[in-house]
């Protein structure tokens, strides 16, 4: 085994390589997602306790955690407590431990070091409440409890802070210098005065002072962002070395389609279509993100791309995250593309075996021009004749590996990812690197701004009146609930709301829709609602994306504080799709948190999806927003995409400069190994690349 391979194996060693870690301790560490030596190196503190400077007793600040050196002058044990009076040259303080066992160790005249919370109750003296303490044998003895900055780690009931500190220190002392080899180019380290990789990890665990911590933290944040940018460049270079499989023919069908639309495309739609056509005309595969607020017309842009592909003799695959959305797209595409003579197939997990065989034959023979479906379209047995365009709707709901599985069904196909959750700029820079982005900012002509209001549960009567008024006008209503059935949580369910509203409004046509219904029933309910045969649809968030019913003018979101900002904005986008004024009613719940209240306030005050996406990133984190967390792309241990935008810009610039000069990183073998070690699987970078 080579030295490099030996180091990698040691890096991945289980924790029992450290003395004192047996099965029980390893199981406790597993709760912290710490399984290997590497995991322990990167189990960074969640905060620090600055115990460098013991305070004189007359300077203790109530309400703070403080450290002090003092002598014990009095001890009293009573009611299961140990109370002591301590003194130094400046004054006195009280100490209380909530156990009588401490008294067995203390003696008057002892010198002790203390660290803990200080309060001031009825006494004029400050009081330490159950502090940590250390008995010092002499005035010359250096205390271990204070005098430096102490790390505070994520912990479990089975693992104390002292135990974690001991094992981390042992790992660092015995293995860190051997394993934490520098991988950044020397010129970058020197130019920005960075700590070495080894020093940065050591100082993250045991900083000398706040400045040292910041240097260590920024070095490791830079590492994560730099490695991701360089990894994306490696992955994209391999992608772009392929030759695209579409050769554009004339655009007669596309021009005819646009000309015969009953409305004009927006400026953003036309611009995006031109950008996509330019990509499809190039010599390497397109890799473009189409983002736009709910209702901005992304599907029409996707249709234009598929028309161009089919006009050039190629197949397109359109992947949606849910069966309901896939069926909605199928209906939309059939309506728009049947007049052009294009064959469209729908393939989802619920398609019967007999029908599936027929669809698979149509796909493999090339009879189907466009294949719409869920993850079923990249499953085993699906063989395309000439897959040249892959469109991924609501791309943040698919992981990197799922996207790669679909792309592998074709020979270097063009890829268009779409999202109605606008992705903040920092995420585009970090996760997608130099991915081309098209943005739809305008709403189609005739659309009115959705009026949004937050209501208390006591205002339900006024809400019912409003619903009846809208239905009397011939409009329809969604009522979204967080649960299907009742539970112990203080939240409302579809079944509960259905019973209540059926009693309140017995003359209305009310239906329910949720994910546990059989697909045939879901399809039937959705079709009835789309065609106006249902007045009020009580549902879960299964209608969150893609459902397009222009006649629906009211959406009520029950217990709205439970949902994230992006989800609330997506749900609001189910109305306002016609020319009539629409309304979004956010119903508060009794146990709503301040964070939930803030989300509702944001929704009431803003209809800008991009602004709300930035807020959502701050609240939820990048992995949840982009669907990449579970695949290791945004599993940052240190970097924060909200706070570290300047570091991100620097990391991106340095990575791009380096890889322009050395695209294969031949001069940086250690850097390339580190990229593959951390990100190879997530970014589909082979170790031999």
Cα(623)–Cα(396) distance, integer angstroms: 9
The average pLDDT across 338-348 equals: 92
Confidence of residue 353 (pLDDT cuts 50, 70, 90): confident
Lowest mean pLDDT among 219-223, 256-260, 350-354: 350-354
Contacts of 646 (CB under 8 A, 6+ apart): none
In 65-122, DSSP assigns E strands to 65-78, 81-88, 91-97, 111-119
The reply to whether 481 falls in a domain is yes
Contacts of 128 (CB under 8 A, 6+ apart): 66, 68, 93, 94, 95, 96, 114, 116, 117, 118
The reply to whether 436 falls in a domain is yes
The answer on 433 and 284 residing in a single domain is: yes
pLDDT of residue 689: 44
Cα(404)–Cα(682) distance, integer angstroms: 10
- Residue 558: both structure tokens together: 């029950």
Would you say residue 599 has pLDDT above 60? yes
Confidence of residue 322 (pLDDT cuts 50, 70, 90): confident
The answer on 276 and 392 residing in a single domain is: yes
Last residue of a domain, one of 556, 583, 606: 606
User: How many helices (H) does the chain have, and how many strands (E)?
Assistant: 24, 21
Domain at 88, CATH number? 2.40.50.140
Burial of 352 per CB tally in 10 Å (0-12, 13-18, 19+): exposed
The reply to whether 63 falls in a domain is yes
Confidence of residue 250 (pLDDT cuts 50, 70, 90): low
Would you say residue 294 has pLDDT above 50? yes
The DSSP 8-state label assigned to residue 546 in this structure reads S
Strands 451-455 and 583-587 come out as parallel
pLDDT of residue 41: 96
CB-based contact 305:298 (threshold 8 Å): no
pLDDT of residue 594: 83
CA dihedral sign, ordered 35, 37, 40, 42: negative
How does pLDDT run across 307-318, given as a tens digit for each residue? 999 988 899 999
Please, which residues bridge with residue 387 across strands?
315
Confidence of residue 682 (pLDDT cuts 50, 70, 90): low
Domain at 506, CATH number? 3.40.50.300
**Distances 68 to 54, 82, 112, 133 between C-alpha atoms, Å:** 4, 18, 8, 10
pLDDT of residue 274: 94
Lowest mean pLDDT among 191-205, 233-247, 266-280, 533-547: 233-247
How does pLDDT run across 529-541, given as a tens digit for each residue? 989 999 999 999 8
Overall number of domains in the chain: 4
- Residue 130: both structure tokens together: 């159950």
Domain that holds residue 16: 1-48+161-179
Mean pLDDT of the chain: 86
Lowest mean pLDDT among 183-187, 255-259, 432-436: 432-436
Would you say residue 617 has pLDDT above 90? no
Please, which residues bridge with residue 221 across strands?
none
Please, which residues bridge with residue 587 across strands?
455
Confidence of residue 192 (pLDDT cuts 50, 70, 90): very high
Of the ranges 100-104, 129-133, 427-431, 685-689, which is most confident?
129-133
The answer on 329 and 425 residing in a single domain is: yes
Last residue of a domain, one of 556, 572, 606: 606
The answer on 141 and 71 residing in a single domain is: yes
The average pLDDT across 89-95 equals: 95
pLDDT of residue 459: 87
Instruction: Give ∠ CA 639-643-649 in degrees, rounded to 5.
Output: 75
The DSSP 8-state label assigned to residue 40 in this structure reads H
The answer on 86 and 3 residing in a single domain is: no
Confidence of residue 644 (pLDDT cuts 50, 70, 90): confident
The answer on 125 and 98 residing in a single domain is: yes
The answer on 122 and 67 residing in a single domain is: yes
The DSSP 8-state label assigned to residue 14 in this structure reads B
CB-based contact 395:419 (threshold 8 Å): yes
Neighbours of 302 (CB within 10 A): 25
Please report the DSSP string for 149-173 in residue order.
EEEE---BTTB-HHHHHHHHHHHII
pLDDT of residue 187: 95
Confidence of residue 426 (pLDDT cuts 50, 70, 90): low
pLDDT of residue 625: 45
The average pLDDT across 445-469 equals: 88
pLDDT of residue 433: 56
**112, 113, 118, 119 alpha-carbon torsion, rounded to 10°:** 0
pLDDT of residue 8: 67
- What is the separation of C-alpha 366 from the centre of its chain, rounded to a whole number of angstroms? 38
Confidence of residue 1 (pLDDT cuts 50, 70, 90): very low
The DSSP 8-state label assigned to residue 36 in this structure reads B
Q: How many CA within 13 A on the CB side of residue 328? A: 24
pLDDT of residue 593: 82
Would you say residue 235 has pLDDT above 90? no
pLDDT of residue 242: 63
The average pLDDT across 394-405 equals: 58
Cα(580)–Cα(450) distance, integer angstroms: 10
- What is the separation of C-alpha 601 from the centre of its chain, rounded to a whole number of angstroms? 22
The reply to whether 624 falls in a domain is no
Instruction: Give ∠ CA 432-434-435 in degrees, rounded to 5.
Output: 60
Confidence of residue 69 (pLDDT cuts 50, 70, 90): very high
The answer on 434 and 313 residing in a single domain is: yes
Confidence of residue 402 (pLDDT cuts 50, 70, 90): low
Could you tell me which residue, 329 or 151, shows the higher pLDDT? 151
The reply to whether 240 falls in a domain is no
Domain at 29, CATH number? 1.10.150
pLDDT of residue 522: 86
In the chain, what is the straight-line distance between the N-terminal and C-terminal CA atoms, in Å?
21
The reply to whether 281 falls in a domain is yes
pLDDT of residue 685: 60
Instruction: Give ∠ CA 625-630-636 in degrees, rounded to 5.
Output: 75
Would you say residue 642 has pLDDT above 90? no
The answer on 368 and 263 residing in a single domain is: yes
Lowest mean pLDDT among 141-155, 300-314, 324-338: 324-338
pLDDT of residue 667: 94
Please, which residues bridge with residue 111 across strands?
71, 136
The average pLDDT across 43-60 equals: 94
Could you tell me which residue, 190 or 489, shows the higher pLDDT? 190
Could you tell me which residue, 546 or 475, shows the higher pLDDT? 475
**Among candidate residues 314, 342, 344, the one with its CA nearest the CA of residue 329:** 344
Confidence of residue 596 (pLDDT cuts 50, 70, 90): confident
The answer on 115 and 79 residing in a single domain is: yes
Of the ranges 488-497, 501-510, 560-569, 616-625, which is most confident?
501-510
pLDDT of residue 621: 56
The answer on 423 and 409 residing in a single domain is: yes
pLDDT of residue 630: 44
The reply to whether 567 falls in a domain is yes
Last residue of a domain, one of 606, 627, 650: 606
The average pLDDT across 213-222 equals: 96
- What is the separation of C-alpha 585 from the centre of its chain, rounded to a whole number of angstroms? 26
Would you say residue 419 has pLDDT above 60? yes
The answer on 123 and 15 residing in a single domain is: no
Portion of the chain with pLDDT greater than 70, in percent: 88
The reply to whether 99 falls in a domain is yes
Would you say residue 222 has pLDDT above 80? yes
Cα(272)–Cα(293) distance, integer angstroms: 14
**Distances 582 to 453, 467, 585 between C-alpha atoms, Å:** 11, 11, 10
The average pLDDT across 466-493 equals: 86
Would you say residue 636 has pLDDT above 90? no
pLDDT of residue 95: 96
Residues in the chain: 689
pLDDT of residue 516: 85
Lowest mean pLDDT among 120-129, 287-296, 325-334, 634-643: 634-643
């Amino acid at each position: 085994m080579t030295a490099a391979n030996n180091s990698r194996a040691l890096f991945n060693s289980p924790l029992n390589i450290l003395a004192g870690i047996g099965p029980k301790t390893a199981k406790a560490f597993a709760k912290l997602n710490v399984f290997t030596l590497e995991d322990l190196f990167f189990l960074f503190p969640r905060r620090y306790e600055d115990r460098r400077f013991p305070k004189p007793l007359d300077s203790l600040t109530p309400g703070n955690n403080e450290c002090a050196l003092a002598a014990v002058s009095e001890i009293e044990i009573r009611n299961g407590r140990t109370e002591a009076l301590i003194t130094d040259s400046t004054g006195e303080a009280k100490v209380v431990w909530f156990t009588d066992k401490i008294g067995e160790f203390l003696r008057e005249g002892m010198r002790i070091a203390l660290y803990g919370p200080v309060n001031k109750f009825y006494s004029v003296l400050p009081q330490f409440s159950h502090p940590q303490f250390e008995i010092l044998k002499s005035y010359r003895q250096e205390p271990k409890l204070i005098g430096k900055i102490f790390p505070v780690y994520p912990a479990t009931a089975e693992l104390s802070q002292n135990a974690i500190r001991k094992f981390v220190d042992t790992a660092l002392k015995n293995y860190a210098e051997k394993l934490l080899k520098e991988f950044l180019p020397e010129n970058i380290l020197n130019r920005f005065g960075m700590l070495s990789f080894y020093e940065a990890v050591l100082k993250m665990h045991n900083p000398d002072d706040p400045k040292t911590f910041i240097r260590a933290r920024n070095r490791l944040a830079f590492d994560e962002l730099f490695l991701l940018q360089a990894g994306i460049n490696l992955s994209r270079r391999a992608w772009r070395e392929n030759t695209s499989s579409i050769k554009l023919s004339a655009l007669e069908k596309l021009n005819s389609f646009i000309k015969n639309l009953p409305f004009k495309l927006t400026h953003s739609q036309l611009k995006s279509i031109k950008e996509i056509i330019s990509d499809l005309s190039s010599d390497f595969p397109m890799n473009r993100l189409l983002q736009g607020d709910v209702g901005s017309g992304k599907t029409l842009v996707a249709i234009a791309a598929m028309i161009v592909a089919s006009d050039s003799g190629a197949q397109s695959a359109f992947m949606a995250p849910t069966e309901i959305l896939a069926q909605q797209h199928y209906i939309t595409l059939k309506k728009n593309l049947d007049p052009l003579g294009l064959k469209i197939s729908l393939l989802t997990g619920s398609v019967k075996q007999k029908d599936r065989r027929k669809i698979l034959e149509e796909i493999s023979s090339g009879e189907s021009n466009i294949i719409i479906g869920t993850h079923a379209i990249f499953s085993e047995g699906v063989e395309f004749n000439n897959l040249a365009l892959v469109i991924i709707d609501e791309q943040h709901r698919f992981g990197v590996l799922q996207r790669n599985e679909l792309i592998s069904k074709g020979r270097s196909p063009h890829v268009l990812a779409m999202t109605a959750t606008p992705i903040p700029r920092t995420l585009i820079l970090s996760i997608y690197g130099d991915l081309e982005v098209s943005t739809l900012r305008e709403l189609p002509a005739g659309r009115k701004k959705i009026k949004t209001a937050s209501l208390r549960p006591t205002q339900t009567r006024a809400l019912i009146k409003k619903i009846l008024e809208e239905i009397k006008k011939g409009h329809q209503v969604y009522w979204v609930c967080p649960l299907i059935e009742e539970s112990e949580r203080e939240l409302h369910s579809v079944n509960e709301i259905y019973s209540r509203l059926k009693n309140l409004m017995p003359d209305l046509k009310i239906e329910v829709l949720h994910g546990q219904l059989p697909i045939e029933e879901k399809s039937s309910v959705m079709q009835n609602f789309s065609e106006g045969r249902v007045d009020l649809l009580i549902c879960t968030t299964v209608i969150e994306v893609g459902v397009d019913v222009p006649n629906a003018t009211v959406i009520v979101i029950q217990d709205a504080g439970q949902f994230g900002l992006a989800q609330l904005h997506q749900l609001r986008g189910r109305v306002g799709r016609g020319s009539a004024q629409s309304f979004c009613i956010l119903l508060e719940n009794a146990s709503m948190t301040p964070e939930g209240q803030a989300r509702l306030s944001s929704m009431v005050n803003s209809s800008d999806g991009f602004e709300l996406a930035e807020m959502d990133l701050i609240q939820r984190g990048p992995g949840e927003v982009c669907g990449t967390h579970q695949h290791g792309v945004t599993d940052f241990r240190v970097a924060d995409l909200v706070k570290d935008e300047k570091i991100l810009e620097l990391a991106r610039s340095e990575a791009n400069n380096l890889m322009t000069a050395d695209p294969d990183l031949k001069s940086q073998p250690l850097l390339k190994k580190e990229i593959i070690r951390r990100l190879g699987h997530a970014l589909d970078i082979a170790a031999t690349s």
